[in-house]
Structure 1
Amino acid sequence: MTTDYQQSRVSLGGRLRELRGPDSGRAFAARLGWPQSKVSKLETGRQTATAEDLRAWAEAAGHPEAAAELEARLQGLESRTRSWRRQLRAGHRPVQDALTVEYERSTRLRAWEGAMVVGILQTADYARAVFTQYAELQQSVRDVDDAVRARQRRQELLYQPGRLFDIVMWEAALHTAVCPPDVLAAQLDRLSGIIGLDTVRLGIVPLSARVRIPPANGFWMYDDRLVIAEDWHAELWLDDDDSVALYGRVWGLLRENAVYGSSAQRLIARARARADAV
């Protein structure tokens, strides 16, 4: 969790405490029908309120007019940290559509991924396996097929001139068994076919490479204006200059150890042979 995000959450909690007034936390929680611990966590910035929580709080505090202000604070907080719990209430498809907008706005897209094949290069079957697993983890709406179709349509951007996808992946991503072996084999064939495409520069960091920075969470950079980094609980949407510059340096350090062209093909072929042997 970012320091700025936590400070904003604490600030929102302070405003909630102010609105509660002289009532005890126990009495206020009883009025809302909540556990007292929830009131305490919201006021101390240890839990993020939902929009529904904020409207209920304003009503219970006798200040319904404050609901709009509280929701504006929440929207400002979530402009940087977008929890999966909130984003996936309507399923994965809306999330994919929102991302497509950022892809379409960009001309140079840089990516790092160490855990699996990046979404823009996934086959339909591979993507289906990934979405299914995340839907189970997040207990979200099961709109897997809609999400797969949205991701596949986005891949049309790979063939439009004037846009460069500069992607770096760790070799481990080629071996991660997030799907059956035959699906992984087809996915690796897809990667082999991408190499040489004029709109895609695909680099693979070998497992044996002496890296200058530990490989960590995956992220995308959209030109020099936006970074979207994923964590288990949320996506971070970072557009301040310092954060974008930091991720640019991280991406550059990881790229230094990547191999391209025929060398990348050999790593993919090695992973393909392993998938066939399973």
Structure 2
Amino acid sequence: MNNQAQETREALGARLRGFRKDAGFSSGRAFAAATGWQESKVSRIENGKQNASEDDIHLWCRLTGHEAEASDLVATVRHIDELWMDWRRVLAAGAENRQKKSLPLYQKTKVFRIWDPNMVWGTIQIAEYAENVFELLSDFHDTPADKEAAVAKRLERQRYLYEGSRIFNVLLGEQALYSNHGGSEVMRAQLDRLLAILALPRLSLGIVPKSAPLAIFTGHAFSMFDDKLVLVETYSAEMTVTQPKEIALYREAFDRHRQSAVYGQAARDLILAAIDHFERLGRESHG
């Protein structure tokens, strides 16, 4: 869980502890007896070690005489959930809904900063590459397989590359050119797509060569939307960063990755080398 989510959860727990004490429950044990919960649950919630559910909040407020404040606290719980979303919960109804939620964010963002050391960024993926990504995601999390609908929504985002005055600063690690999503033919087509977008006037595509001196450790992929929000994807969850101090760190990380990147003809040469690799791979598999 990121710092902002944890701090918010701890602040909520402290507020609930105050409610309990003000209502005359001198100990967590006494309050646990009134709720029918384990005493350890009361302690974990009050110390920010466990998320309180919406039902927990309503019961807590009712027993302590703070029902008028329940709606505000429920909103806080939902905000914590938004800051750290378990993928199985996000994808419970399939990947299409998650892709759909991205569209308003893309619409209002003016400057994008994207770092992915291992994979081609979603908005510049071709359909076949994206299909493979969604297949892997569905299989890993055992969630509904709706790759066609999810791909359609992902491809909708591409219109923002051409509309308005948005600026896209995209950095990929050289490994992203070789991570095989869909086989040699798909990879060659995806790499051809990267060559094509090098000409887009408002998109800057940099590649960090695998042997380039680094100004910061490679780390994980992230997407930064203006200076307001950062999305970080892990194997287990999607983390939303909105705290200014944390956003500033991601901005600094992006700037440091950019110091190691190559652009223009040097980036084109790296992409062409990867295309040559997959052409040879394709010939060998058919030979």
Amino acid at match of 1:214: F
* Aligned mates of 2:152, 2:12 — CA distance in 1: 38
Q: Deviations over 1:106-151 (max 9, x none)?
A: 2221111112000010011111111121222223333222111001
Q: Provide the TM-score with structure 1 as the length reference.
A: 0.83
- Within 2, Cα distance between the matches of 1:3 and 1:272? 41
User: 1:9 matched to which residue of 2?
Assistant: 9
Q: Which residue identity does 1:5 align to in structure 2?
A: A
Output the TM-score relative to the length of structure 2: 0.81
**What stretches of structure 1 move > 6 A for 4+ residues in a row?**
27-30, 35-40, 59-64
Residue identity matched to 2:166:
R
Counterparts of residues 183-262 of structure 1 (less than 5 Å): 183-262=186-265
Residues 224 and 49 of structure 1, relative CA distance in 2, 3 Å threshold = same
* Rounded Cα–Cα distance in structure 1 between residues aligned with 2:34 and 2:180: 46
Kept after mapping to 1: 8 A contact 2:171/2:208:
yes
Structure 2: state its 5+ residue gaps: 282-287
| One-letter code aligned to 2:4 | D
Q: 1:29 to 1:260 in 2, by over 3 A?
A: farther
- What amino acid does structure 2 have at the position aligned with 1:190? R
Q: Residue by residue, what CA displacement relative to the aligned partner does 1:74-121 show, whole Å, maximum 9, x if unpaired?
A: 123234333323322332222212212111112221111112000010
Q: Which has the larger radius of gyration?
A: 2
* 3-state DSSP of counterpart to 2:120: coil
CA distance in 2, matches of 1:58, 1:46: 17
Q: Counterparts of 1:151 and 1:142 in 2: how far apart (Å)?
A: 15
- Structure 1 residues without counterparts, runs of 5 or longer: none
Could you say which residue in structure 1 is the equivalent of 2:146? Answer: 143
Q: How does 1:1-278 map to 2 (within 5 A)?
A: 1-13=1-13, 24=29, 42=45, 44-51=47-54, 58=60, 65=67, 68-278=71-281
State the Cα deviation string for residues 187-229 of structure 1 (Å, max 9, x = none): 1111111111112111100001001101111112222222222
For residue 173 of structure 1, report the CA deviation from its aligned partner.
0.9
